[in-house]
Amino acid sequence: MQVFDLEAEGLRALNETLHAQNAQTNQTSWEIVNAKGSHAIAVGLDAPIEVTVKGSTGYYCGGMNKQATINVHGSAGPGVGENMMSGTIIIEGDASQYAGATGHGGLLVIKGNASSRCGISMKGIDIVVHGNIGHMSAFMAQSGNLVVLGDAGDALGDSCYEARLFVRGTVKSLGADCEKKEMRPEHIEILKDLLERAGADAKPEEFSRYGSARNLYNFDVDNASAY
């Protein structure tokens, strides 16, 4: 276990050190102490390493992550895991706005609640939120899976494309062109796998699936009021 004191050594040194790790590194386990809500912690990683952050993080923790597993023992600020490509990010506490925004792949687990615009414009990422999510989540979500064990706020899945949205609790309202969909066996399988990987104690059958009604895929003036 390598311990990195962020307060003492600074952000640039942290990310430079983590970027220097490659697939053959022996230093596969890192602990970051004194995070103190700093921004851009462990961004742009590209190695199969495990990074544990002691404390809460500021903006964009784990941004554009590839391969690495990042575990935040605290809460995460806006844009955690933004545009991540692969790997796993686990937030033990809550997450602020835009969690997993534009993520292309990998798994983002939020054990608390996530704020508004969770999974905005997601492009293949899997996101599992153990608690609730805020308004406008999965806005323009393109692909991937958003799993919510609690409730969803207003305008879920507004203008979404092919992303699959699974909510166990209530949905305050659906956004434009988002509708409740049939839960078929393949969706149960997807959900079962994601719940297991996210360490979530829930049964797939308890969830409802939402997704695009595909009415706004090609502009039609008769749908103008929906935009």
Partner 1 sequence: MNDQDHKGIPRTTPRQSATFSQDVNSDIRRAAATGIYDIRGGGAKRRVPNFDDLLFMGASISRYPLEGYREKCDTKVTLGTRFAKNPIELDIPITIAGMSFGALSGPAKEALGRGASAAGTSTTTGDGGMTPEERGHSTKLVYQYLPSRYGMNPDDLRKADAIEIVVGQGAKPGGGGMLLGQKISDRVAEMRNLPKGIDQRSACRHPDWTGPDDLEIKILELREITGWRVPIYVKIAGARPYFDTTLAVKAGADVVVLDGMQGGTAATQDVFIEHVGQPTLACIRPAVQALQDLGMHREVQLVISGGIRSGADVAKALALGADAVAIGTAALIALGDNDPKWEEEYNKLGTTAGAYDDWHEGRDPAGITTQDPELMKRFNPIEGGRRLKNYLKVMTLEAQTIARACGKNHMHNLEPEDLVALTMEAAAMAQVPLAGTNWYPGKGNF
* Residues of the shown chain interacting with partner 1 in the complex, contacts defined by CB under 8 A: 11-12, 15-16, 19, 39-40, 43-44, 46, 58-60, 63-64, 66, 78-79, 82-83, 85, 97-98, 101-102, 104, 117, 120-121, 123-124, 139-140, 142-143, 159, 161-162, 217-219, 221, 224
**Least distance CB 102 / partner 1 (angstroms):** 4
Q: Which two tokens stand for residue 72?
A: 């935040």
Residue 122 contacts residue 142 (beta carbons within 8 Å): yes
Count of CB atoms situated within 10 Å of the CB of 52: 19
Closer residue to partner 1 in complex, CB, 32/149 = 32
Closer residue to partner 1 in complex, CB, 75/195 = 75
**Least distance CB 152 / partner 1 (angstroms):** 18
Closer residue to partner 1 in complex, CB, 196/222 = 222
**Least distance CB 199 / partner 1 (angstroms):** 26
**Least distance CB 202 / partner 1 (angstroms):** 28
Q: Which two tokens stand for residue 31?
A: 């602990």
Return the sign of the alpha-carbon dihedral for residues 15, 58, 75, 131. Answer: negative
**Least distance CB 180 / partner 1 (angstroms):** 21
Closer residue to partner 1 in complex, CB, 55/87 = 87
For 210, residues 6+ apart whose C-beta sits below 8 A from its C-beta are: 156, 157, 165, 166, 167, 171, 174, 178, 179, 180, 181
**Least distance CB 84 / partner 1 (angstroms):** 9
For 220, residues 6+ apart whose C-beta sits below 8 A from its C-beta are: none
Residue 141 contacts residue 119 (beta carbons within 8 Å): yes
Closer residue to partner 1 in complex, CB, 83/149 = 83
Closer residue to partner 1 in complex, CB, 163/195 = 163
Percent helix, strand, coil in the chain, to 5, is 15, 30, 55
CA-CA distance, 153 to 148, in Å (whole number)?
11
